[in-house]
Structures are given as structure tokens and as C-alpha cells.
């Protein structure tokens, strides 16, 4: 990958994975004396379930910290001068760390906030098409899960430059571009895969809406 040797690249990815693996939601709820977030609500360690289990304040703090653990590794790698295709895989590693944290038997969250932070560290403008898609889908259908899935998938054409060069980082050489492309296909698909239970509930009509009613029991 450009002038980056394989060992250094793997160490950056490992660091990003370990940063992403910190289960802030679980830690914050326990520190607040509200038990194990995994035994409450959906059982997820992400901000939405933390908000249900520990209150709005803990949920917002979890959202910020989960985004930060995606942002920091990618931002530091970018500042260190790593090429765009390497940054892409570091973003995947940080998000995967949240989804498959080794401290919780490789069970974790859905990766939306961590992916958001990683994209912000990669190229801030890249989040805008996804945020627009998220707001549009949420406003129409009122399902956070559906909006998150669509927002994740929008990352693929964004990274490919289909919304314009302003929204993506160019890969530094054509023969390496496929590595960066693969990362921006894999990351959204991981997010979608982690929403498999939500997808099933959406198909069954049992998924809860953010406002204005709940799914069928």
C-alpha cells in the first residue's frame, strides 16, 4: 500500500481494532449502577440500548465515545501520512472491533456510531450523503434501523466518487484502488449484517418506530 510496509499497516489495523473494541456502553451503564446493558432491552451495547437502560445522558455519552473510538485511529493514521487505501482498512478495523470485541467473547454492537466516527476521521465530507439518506429514510419511515442500513449502503457509491470528488478521498494509485474499494464495500455490508435481526423484524412488521407507534407484537 504505497510506501507503507505490511507490518506497519497491520499494526495500525490492530491498534484500530483494539480501540474499537472498548465497550463504552457496557462500562458506562455498570459505572452508573444500572446493571449489565446486555441483559436489558435489545441486549446491544450501543447508544440506543444504553439510552433505554441508563437514560438519555448515558446514551449520548456512549454515542460520542463510540464515534470517537472510530475517529481517533483513522485521524491519527491520516495525520501520519498513510495512504487513502490504508485509511480505508483502518476504518474497517475500528468498526469491526466494536462489532466483535474480544472482551465480550467477540459479541458487540452494530457499529453505526463507530463507523460514523471512522468516516469523519477519513474524510468528513464523506458522511454528508449518508446523513442525508439517514434523515430522509427516518423522516419517511421512522425506523432507525432502516435509516442506518440505508446510510451505510450509501457509503459505497460515495467512496467510489459517484456523488463527486468532494465527498471522497482519491486512492493514490490506480493499481491499489481496488483495496480501498473493497474496504468501503465490506464496511457497509458488516453494518447491514449486524442489523439482521432488525431486518427480520422489519419484514415481519414488528420493528419499533422511533415515534408514532410500535410494531406488531
C-alpha cell read off for 120: 469523519
62 inside domain: no
The answer on pLDDT for 217 being more than 60 is no
Domain total in the chain: 1
pTM of this prediction exceeds 0.95: no
76 inside domain: yes
What tens digit of pLDDT does each residue of 12-47 get? Answer: 999 999 999 999 999 999 999 988 999 887 788 988
What tens digit of pLDDT does each residue of 135-160 get? Answer: 999 999 999 999 999 999 999 999 98
83 inside domain: yes
Domain that holds residue 181: 6-20+67-204
61 inside domain: no
153 inside domain: yes
Q: Which of 159, 155, 3 is nearest to 86 (CA)?
A: 3
Amino acid at each position: 500500500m504505497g510506501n507503507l510496509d505490511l507490518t506497519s499497516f497491520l499494526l495500525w489495523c490492530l491498534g484500530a481494532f483494539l480501540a474499537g473494541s472498548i465497550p463504552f456502553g457496557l462500562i458506562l451503564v455498570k459505572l452508573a449502577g444500572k446493571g449489565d446493558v446486555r441483559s436489558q432491552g435489545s441486549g446491544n451495547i450501543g447508544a440506543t440500548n444504553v439510552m433505554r437502560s441508563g437514560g438519555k445522558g448515558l446514551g449520548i455519552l456512549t454515542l460520542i465515545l463510540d464515534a470517537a473510538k472510530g475517529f481517533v485511529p483513522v485521524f491519527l493514521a491520516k495525520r501520519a501520512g498513510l495512504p487513502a487505501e490504508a485509511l480505508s482498512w483502518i476504518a474497517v478495523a475500528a468498526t469491526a472491533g466494536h462489532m466483535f470485541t474480544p472482551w465480550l467473547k467477540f459479541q458487540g454492537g452494530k457499529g453505526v456510531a463507530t463507523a460514523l466516527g471512522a468516516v469523519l476521521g477519513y474524510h468528513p465530507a464523506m458522511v454528508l450523503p449518508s446523513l442525508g439518506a439517514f434523515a430522509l429514510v427516518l423522516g419517511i419511515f421512522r425506523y432507525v434501523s432502516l435509516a442506518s442500513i440505508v446510510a451505510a449502503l450509501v457509503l459505497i457509491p460515495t467512496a467510489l466518487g459517484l456523488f463527486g470528488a468532494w465527498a471522497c478521498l482519491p486512492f493514490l494509485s490506480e493499481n491499489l484502488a481496488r483495496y480501498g474499494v473493497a474496504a468501503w464495500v465490506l464496511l457497509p455490508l458488516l453494518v447491514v449484517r449486524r442489523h439482521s435481526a432488525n431486518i427480520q423484524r422489519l419484514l415481519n412488521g414488528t420493528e419499533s418506530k422511533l415515534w408514532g407507534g410500535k410494531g406488531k407484537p
